[in-house]
Chains A and B, each alone.
Chain A
Amino acid sequence: MRELRGIGASPGGAAGPVYRLAPPPALPPLVEAVDPGAEKATVRAAVLAVAADLTRRADTALDVTAAEVLRAQVMMAQDETLIDAADIAIDGGADAPHAITDVLAGHRAAFEAAGGYLAERVSDLDDLRDRLVAACLGLPMPGVPDPGHPYLLIARDLAPADTAGLEPGLVLGLITAEGGPTSHTAILARTLGIPAVVRCPGILDVTDGALASLDGTSGVVVAGVSAETVTTVNADRLAEIERRARSRGPGRTADGHPIALLANIGSARDLTGEVEGVGLFRTELLYLDRSDPPSHEEQVTAYRDVFAALPGSKIVVRTLDAGADKPLPFLRLADEPNPALGIRGLRVARQTPSVLTTQLAAIAAAAAATDADVWVMAPMVATAAEAAAFTESCREHGLPTAGVMIEVPAAALCASQVLCHADFLSVGTNDLSQYTFAADRMCGDLADLLDPWQPALIALLASCAAAGVEAGKPVGVCGESAADPDFALVLAGLGITSLSMAPRSIPAVRESLAAHTLDECRRIAEAVLAAPSPEAARAAAAGASPQLRSGVGVPVR
């Protein structure tokens, strides 16, 4: 048995055999003096194997869009011209992997030249090439493994494309060598309710098939556990899931003080189970992968789907959060050297005001057609003047409750002035961490700076909460930190009024709040505010609350 340490990224325990996400194959040096007949046979065998594998994946994919992409890849793999062109390349002296790479490179260039939708599909071609080359070389298929039974997925890091077909029933847990608590892996794991540990470099030395266990709260990974341990860990996890599935009702402390527990969603599809409301409805999904902005009617339909699903509930809609880091072709944003610091979020309205006004009109129309309590907020607000302009625009469109997100330290520092105009605040702790610590969210090497228990972040949260209490206006949190059952106590104690998170994270936070009175939460928050480091803050929280489960001895690194 060997104990490895990482950062807990999605709570819960899991155990099982580990299988790694195979990296794309490296193209070996060209083989001299190839036997053309053998190379041609290799190409044909690779095409058959890859097409069969992709077809099987398409048939079992849960997501309709993912299945369509896979079927299109099957048609490309089975394309006769691919084999014909590869044969010509082989007759010209290439071996099978080089022939395939060369032929697909030609199509890749055509896709890129066509621009728009096709340029975005270049990654599908690259994936197809990697699969065909791996098949030629007898290497494992790149991408998510499919051992045919439940397992722990291990990887250097996971990109969105790797995880499109990830099945929670099959992937018991995730362990990555890189990444951080706000990286894609962590967010995905929380969304799917899969326990995860990130930043655990030792995991790459563990061989495929070896048994391991992970604790997604403490970040501890044990390699070489017994089969009995695997059974126990997974049985405990199942019991925990079942117990939480039975927990119901609105969020409140042990003495009945309400803390609304809301869902972060991207579309009506993300609404699973009962929720009190939606604290963050991301509207980007509607705008992705298209060359023209969605029409008024199209937007009204998409918003109405969500509003109608939660009659009478509060739903906070975030207006389009795009920028050079999340580019949308129709905005024609220039390339920027520092996209995170450029034209993004509400700032897009400086150049293209119509995108925002069209969206507000559509939200208002959808709100009028349903009886949901629709709130609207803008991302990336930095000043009180921006908040004033946004709220005024919302009121002109007949949207009565308008607020802003607090992601920029400038806005957090002036929270009182911002609240002179805004009806509420919602703190996005992921971006607020990134901008407060000047540390890129995607930079795993800086993960310690992005820890929500950092004193500077907690101080900014405290000043936002205090401004809300003073103004008598709600202040919520919608970053990943709201999903941490322990940190939720700190937030409640600071005066935060709602917590928004992936729906699956709600039961654990509900349990944690229900086990503490508001006074206990306040004592925890006071102790944490006085702590000089994340480690000290966790220890202070544990010291202030004997029943706090996971705060003890959980160093971040």
Chain B
Amino acid sequence: MPTRTVLVGSASGLHARPAALFVAEAAKQPVLVTIRSGDKKPVPARSMLAVLSLGAKKGTEVTLEADGDGAQAAVDTLADLLERDLDAVDA
């Protein structure tokens, strides 16, 4: 199963605008991608509530995972997004 572990790159953490951009991108993927931080339970990446509840800050290690057709591409897209500083992206 395709898996990627990355560090959150956004200055404010996976909150506010970075979380909104991430969740919106996850919802566009053809497969269900999960995200987990540390030994906590994986949660759906397209869930705003669950993603916020991770409480991931800048530099927090998170793991993405997906299964099925297009899983690798979906995981890569979202992992690349997480590594960027989304606070610096223009609205």
Contact B15 A118 (CB under 8 A): yes
Residue on A with the closest CB to B13? A117
Contact B53 A81 (CB under 8 A): no
Residue on A with the closest CB to B57? A116
Interface residues of B (CB under 8 A from A): 12-13, 15-17, 19-20, 23-24, 43-44, 46-50, 52-55, 57, 91
Q: Which of B13, B48, B53, B91 has the most CB of A within 10 A?
A: B48
Residue on B with the closest CB to A103? B49
Q: Give, as a whole number of angstroms, the nearest-CB distance from A248 to chain B.
A: 37
Contact A68 B52 (CB under 8 A): no
Contact A81 B49 (CB under 8 A): yes
Contact A68 B48 (CB under 8 A): no
Contact B20 A81 (CB under 8 A): no
* C-alpha spacing A315/B57, complex, angstroms: 38
Q: Which residues of B contact A118 (CB under 8 A)?
A: 15, 52, 55
* C-alpha spacing A111/B56, complex, angstroms: 11
Partner of A75, one of B20, B53, B54: B20
Partner of B55, one of A72, A76, A81, A110: A110
Contact A114 B23 (CB under 8 A): no
Q: Give, as a whole number of angstroms, the nearest-CB distance from A305 to chain B.
A: 19
Q: Give, as a whole number of angstroms, the nearest-CB distance from B57 to chain A.
A: 8
Contact A117 B15 (CB under 8 A): yes
* C-alpha spacing A117/B13, complex, angstroms: 9
* C-alpha spacing A115/B57, complex, angstroms: 11
Query: A80-B46, A107-B49, A110-B53 known; A68 and B17 CB under 8 Å?
Result: yes
Contact B52 A111 (CB under 8 A): yes
Contact B48 A114 (CB under 8 A): no
Residue on B with the closest CB to A75? B48
Contact A72 B13 (CB under 8 A): no
Contact A72 B46 (CB under 8 A): no
Contact A80 B20 (CB under 8 A): no
Cβ of A82 within 8 Å of any chain B Cβ, yes or no, is yes
Contact A80 B53 (CB under 8 A): no
Mask: chain A, 78-114; 1 = CB below 8 Å from B; 0 = not: 1111100000000000000000000010010011011
Residue on B with the closest CB to A115? B55
Interface residues of A (CB under 8 A from B): 64, 68, 71-72, 75-76, 78-82, 104, 107, 110-111, 113-118, 121
Q: Give, as a whole number of angstroms, the nearest-CB distance from B13 to chain A.
A: 7
Q: Which residues of B contact A71 (CB under 8 A)?
A: 20
Q: Give, as a whole number of angstroms, the nearest-CB distance from A288 to chain B.
A: 14
Q: Which of A64, A107, A118 has the most CB of B within 10 A?
A: A118
Q: List 6 A-B contacts (CB under 8 A).
A: A72-B16, A75-B20, A79-B50, A110-B52, A111-B55, A118-B55
Further contacts, 5 of them, CB under 8 A, given A72-B48, A107-B49: A75-B48, A81-B43, A107-B50, A107-B52, A118-B55
Contact B16 A107 (CB under 8 A): no
* C-alpha spacing A107/B91, complex, angstroms: 27
Residue on A with the closest CB to B48? A75
Q: Give, as a whole number of angstroms, the nearest-CB distance from A290 to chain B.
A: 9
Q: Give, as a whole number of angstroms, the nearest-CB distance from B85 to chain A.
A: 15
Contact B53 A107 (CB under 8 A): yes
Q: Which residues of A contact B12 (CB under 8 A)?
A: 117
Query: A72-B16, A117-B15 known; A111 and B47 CB under 8 Å?
Result: no
Partner of A76, one of B15, B17, B49, B91: B49
Q: Give, as a whole number of angstroms, the nearest-CB distance from A499 to chain B.
A: 39
Q: Which residues of B contact A82 (CB under 8 A)?
A: 47, 49
Q: Which residues of B contact A115 (CB under 8 A)?
A: 55
Q: Give, as a whole number of angstroms, the nearest-CB distance from B39 to chain A.
A: 15
Q: Give, as a whole number of angstroms, the nearest-CB distance from A67 to chain B.
A: 10
Partner of A81, one of B13, B47, B54: B47
* C-alpha spacing A116/B23, complex, angstroms: 21
Q: Give, as a whole number of angstroms, the nearest-CB distance from A54 to chain B.
A: 13
Partner of B20, one of A72, A107, A111: A72
Residue on A with the closest CB to B19? A72
Partner of B16, one of A64, A68, A110, A114: A68
Residue on A with the closest CB to B47? A81
* C-alpha spacing A80/B47, complex, angstroms: 7
Partner of B49, one of A64, A79, A113, A117: A79
4 A-B pairs with the lowest CB-CB distances in the bound complex, closest first: A114-B55, A110-B53, A75-B48, A81-B47
Q: Which residues of B contact A81 (CB under 8 A)?
A: 43-44, 47, 49-50
Q: Give, as a whole number of angstroms, the nearest-CB distance from B23 to chain A.
A: 6
Partner of A80, one of B17, B24, B44, B57: B44
Q: Which residues of A contact B91 (CB under 8 A)?
A: 64
